[in-house]
Amino acid sequence: MEATAAAPTPVPAVVPPPPSPPPLSPAPEPPQGVPAVPASAAVLPGWLTPALIGVAIVAAFAAWTAWDGREQVRSLELELVRRQQGSAEQAADARVQSKQAQELARDAAAKVALLEARLADVTLQRSQLEELIQSLSRSRDENVVADIDAAIRVAMQQSALSGSAEPMVAALRSADERLARINQPRLERLRRAVVRDLDRVRSAGVPDVGALLIKLDEAVRLVDELPLLSQAQRASTPPVAARKPAGGASAAASAGDWSAAWGGRLNDWSQPLQAAWAELRGLVRVTRIDRPEAMLLAPEQAFFLRENLKLRLLNARLSLLSRQADATASDLQVAQGAVSAYFEGSARKTQLLLDLLRQVQGQSRQLSVPRPDETLAATTAAVVGR
């Protein structure tokens, strides 16, 4: 509220010196009908008129000053009242705004607390994300090595089941391409191992399993036709009488008619003797047998021998289908030993069976795909030495 303005102080008027009296002139005559005023009463002192004028001026100035001061005081009072009313209104507005400001402050405080909580959550998530990114960047090489190891092991299983080297070749080629893209010096040893194993697997020849199975089936069919040592038949010899006439005829043609007649008589006498001698020689036969039990084989035992030999060949066939080269070679070796021990080795079918078994055994040694042992060892060393 503004202070009330003070009333101005009236300034005293400056009274001028009385003017000099004018020269005396004869007094005018009063008009007719007006009583004459005595001369002593009409004449005033010379200083009184200016004094009266100054007093009038001072009074007028004082009145004007008083009026102006009153107007100013009235205007000040009106202004004061107006400003007091405005101040009251502003105070009421200020109270309302203060309440609104308090409510806004409470809302702002709640929002700030919520934002701080969210900021804390975002900060925590950011720290976790940074740790995850750092962990991923650190373990990128380890993940690549682990993926290569897992892919190669799966390819080994697929190659063992299918008998083909293509899964192994594809896995090793993919590993080489990934390592080439990464181009890490610490994985250079692993890449060299992958390249060497890839060349070794490509150069390995895998036999035709279908052809080997056909040979084993043919061997199983020949088992029933093999002659046993105990049942070997004597080689049929042509009768002596059938051979001698030719020799006698040639001798008779060369020696003449007289010698032909004499030789015919000798042949007639010698034919019964030679036939008897051949029968005597057939009664006794000398044969070298390394296993005497092969000659003592009974017919029912021969049946079981053939069946066991078939089962052994079928086991070799199953091992061949399951890509088990060692089991296949073992079964074929046992079958060859049984054929050599109990069957006639000079027979054509026996020799054919043994030849089939040798072919299957020789080709089954390359049945399994080479293992990438060097690559597996390099992956293990890369994981351990990280």
Q: What are phi and psi of 343, to 5 degrees?
A: -120, 160
The reported pLDDT for the residue numbered 254 is: 45
| Crossing angle (nearest 10°) for helices 209-223 and 299-321 | 170
For the residues 191-218, what does the mean pLDDT come to? 82
For residue 255, the enclosing domain spans 235-279
The reported pLDDT for the residue numbered 161 is: 72
The reported pLDDT for the residue numbered 264 is: 56
Residues 211 and 262 in one domain: no
Q: What are phi and psi of 369, to 5 degrees?
A: -75, 140
The percentage of residues in the chain with a pLDDT greater than 90, rounded to a whole number, is: 6
Residues 224 and 84 in one domain: no
Q: What are phi and psi of 43, to 5 degrees?
A: -85, 125
With respect to residue 32, please indicate whether it lies within any of the assigned structural domains. no
- Residue 263 confidence (pLDDT) above 80: no
User: What is the DSSP code string of 191-259?
Assistant: HHHHHHHHHHHHHPPPP-HHHHHHHHHHHHHHHTTPPBSTTPPPPP---HHHHHHHHHHHHHHHH-HHH
Q: Considering only CA atoms, give the Rg of the chain.
A: 73
The reported pLDDT for the residue numbered 293 is: 63
Angle, CA of 228, 233 and 237, to the nearest 5°: 155
Residues 217 and 315 in one domain: yes
Residues 192 and 245 in one domain: no
Domains held by the chain: number: 4
With respect to residue 289, please indicate whether it lies within any of the assigned structural domains. no
> Whole-model pTM above 0.75?
no
Which of 109, 136, 163 delimits the end of a domain? 136
For the residues 77-89, what does the mean pLDDT come to? 87
pLDDT tens sequence across 42-82: 455 677 888 888 888 888 888 888 888 888 888 888 888 88
Residues 70 and 91 in one domain: yes
Residues 221 and 345 in one domain: yes
- Distance set, CA 183 to CA 53, 141, 150, 325, 382 (Å): 121, 10, 20, 39, 15
The span from the CA of 196 to the CA of 199, in Å, is 5
- Residue 199 confidence (pLDDT) above 80: yes
Per-residue tokens: 72: 């100013």
With respect to residue 9, please indicate whether it lies within any of the assigned structural domains. no
Residues 55 and 194 in one domain: no
Residues 179 and 309 in one domain: no
Residues 88 and 163 in one domain: no
With respect to residue 11, please indicate whether it lies within any of the assigned structural domains. no
Residues 145 and 168 in one domain: yes
With contact defined as beta carbons under 8 Å apart, do 203 and 169 qualify? no
Least confident range of 109-113, 177-181, 188-192, 318-322:
318-322
Confidence class for position 112, pLDDT limits 50, 70, 90: very high
Round the average pLDDT of the chain to a whole number and report it.
Answer: 75
- Residue 261 confidence (pLDDT) above 70: no
Per-residue tokens: 185: 């010096």
- Residue 20 confidence (pLDDT) above 80: no
Residue listed under structure tokens 């040592």: 229
- Residue 13 confidence (pLDDT) above 70: no
The reported pLDDT for the residue numbered 366 is: 65
- Residue 287 confidence (pLDDT) above 70: no
Residues 226 and 344 in one domain: yes
- Residue 37 confidence (pLDDT) above 70: no
Per-residue tokens: 310: 């078939």
Greater confidence (50 vs 206) lies with 50
Query: Which of these, 160, 144, 139, lies nearest to 372 by C-alpha position?
Result: 160
Which of 88, 106, 136 delimits the end of a domain? 136
With respect to residue 104, please indicate whether it lies within any of the assigned structural domains. yes
Per-residue tokens: 169: 């070749």
Which of 96, 115, 136 delimits the end of a domain? 136
With respect to residue 115, please indicate whether it lies within any of the assigned structural domains. yes
Q: What are phi and psi of 228, to 5 degrees?
A: -80, 160
Query: Which of these, 316, 349, 359, 358, lies nearest to 228 by C-alpha position?
Result: 349
The span from the CA of 108 to the CA of 101, in Å, is 10
For the residues 358-368, what does the mean pLDDT come to? 76
- Residue 248 confidence (pLDDT) above 80: no
With respect to residue 42, please indicate whether it lies within any of the assigned structural domains. no
Residue 228, beta-bridge partner list? 343
Confidence class for position 386, pLDDT limits 50, 70, 90: low
pLDDT tens sequence across 161-194: 766 778 888 888 998 888 888 877 778 888 888 8
Query: Which of these, 30, 361, 42, lies nearest to 212 by C-alpha position?
Result: 361
Residues 130 and 69 in one domain: yes
